[in-house]
Structures are given as structure tokens and as C-alpha cells.
Amino acid sequence: MIKEILREQKEIDSFISKVIDSEPEYIALDIETDWFSENKWSPLQLGLDWIWIYDWVNAWFIVHKEWLDYWGLDLLVHSSPIITQNWKFDFSILLNLGYISFLEDIIIHDTKILSHMCNENRASHSLKDMVISVLKKDTVVKLSDVGQKPIMEKNLLTMTEESQKDFKENILWTWEEKLWSYCIDDCVNTYELFFHFKENIPSPRVWAIYEKIELPFLKVLIEMEIAGINLDIDYLKGIGDKLQDKILDLQIEIYKEAWTDFNIWSAK
């Protein structure tokens, strides 16, 4: 199996053309952002650092953030069904940054949603947990195994060319290799999970709900997040004030019935 990192525009264009021409059945996609940390809470505030695309037949497709032109990615995601884990996050970033033009005609599958539909009572639907519990793999590369990206000293003027070269080739590249391994594993595991869930879906009816309701609805949510929605703030505040008054009235009634006050919000 081929593993390669593509840095030149010509290489990227050639590879994308080869993959599109081969018409793969599915492609697994994973991206990493400029906040390679646990703080991935707002996709619309993140930039893109790396893209990993995995095609079971052709090759590993690892694209560095210095990729100059992303037009090929737009063609690629519209040419074959895409498999991701939590695709709403990945595609929110790609759309927000303009790396893909629109969601229409893109066929996207999401292993996280499939996991819920196959077993809503599963202890965890995270990718790493499902690799162990569903795929029965003994080990999984975690984010903590990769660590934070090494930072070169700020004052480059005090560093010799040899020191800068040593940092890049021995420290930075070592970290990047760990990152590649982490994301390649994510792509492969996502790919394998998809086929596991597809083969073990409870019924054709559940699969139909997944395809016709769950996935299209996610596209609506992404478009809402990017475009935003209009709200009548004053009207909503008025409703909130009325509800708050009603809650206070009910609270007083409850205390009267109980002949004492207590924490109504307690689960017990």
C-alpha cells in the first residue's frame, strides 16, 4: 500500500485526476486544523492544516497545508461517496474556508451517526472507543500520543542555518510523522467502521431513515451555521420573561402543596 505526502501542485492535480478516473467506491476523509488540540469546539473559527484522504484501492493521499489550489478537492468530493467520522465538523470547515463550493450532489456517510442508529445505547460513539469496542483492535493511536506541535525559537536570527535545518528535519518532521500515522489510522478505522455498520444495520428501514432523513438534515444544519439565521431578539426576550413568571408561579404552588421549600431542580 502506498503512503505518500504530496507537496507540489502538479503532484496533487495528477493524483486527484487518477483517483477520480478510477471511480473508487468510497473515499475516507479526515482533516486536521490549525488548532491541533482538544479545543476543536468551533469549526467556523478554525483554519485548515492538513487533509488526509484514504482510498482503499489507490493510495494514501496526504496533503500538506501548503497546497496552493484546492479546486481538485472540490472535484474529488463530488465524484465519489465520502466517509467521515462526524462529517458536520469537517465539511463546516471546508465550506467556511471555500475549499469546497457546495454540498449538493456530495454523497457523505457518517460513522458516528451510523453507530447511533445501530446501537443507541453504545457506551461511546467516539472513533477511538469504537475502534476497540466494535473493530476489536488492541491498540489505537490517540491525540495524546502525538503531542503538541514543536515550536521553533522565535528569534530566528540567533539560530544558525544548521540549527534551523536540524529543527525541521529531526524535531518537526518526527512530530509530523506521528501526526500522519494518527490521521491515517483515523481514515482506515473510519472506512472499516462504515462497512461494519452498513453490514450490521438493524433493518432496511433504519438504513432508509439514515440516508433520507439523518444525512440530509446535517446538510441543513451546516448551511444554517455558515449563513446564520435571523432572530427577533425582543420577541424572544418577551417570551422568556413570560415563561420565567410562569415558572415562579408554579414554584410557589409546589411549595404550598409540599408545606416546605426544597430544591425543585434536583433530579431526585
Reading the block at residue 207, the C-alpha cell is 438504513
Reading the block at residue 202, the C-alpha cell is 438493524
pLDDT tens digits, residue range 102-119?
888 889 999 999 999 999
Superfamily of chain region 5-227? Ribonuclease H-like superfamily/Ribonuclease H (3.30.420.10)
- Cβ-based neighbours of 162, under 8 Å, separated by 6 or more: none
pLDDT tens digits, residue range 145-195?
777 777 766 555 566 777 777 777 677 777 777 777 787 788 888 989 999
Where are the domains positioned within the chain? 5-227, 232-268
The answer to whether the predicted template modeling score (pTM) of the entire model surpasses 0.75 is: no
* Whole-angstrom distance, CA of residue 193 vs CA of residue 175: 27
* Amino acid identity, position 162: E
- In what order do the strands lie in the sheet containing 5-6? 5-6, 59-63, 48-55, 27-33, 82-84, 108-110
pLDDT tens digits, residue range 202-254?
999 999 999 999 999 988 888 887 788 888 999 999 999 999 999 999 999 99
Cα dist. 139→101, 146, 180, 184, 185 in Å?
A: 37, 14, 17, 14, 11
Give kind and range of the element (H or E) at residue 115: helix 111-118
Q: Which residues pair with 6 in a beta bridge?
A: 63
Please tell me whether residue 213 adopts helix, strand or coil conformation: helix
The highest-confidence range among 7-11, 49-53, 165-169, 199-203, by mean pLDDT, is 199-203
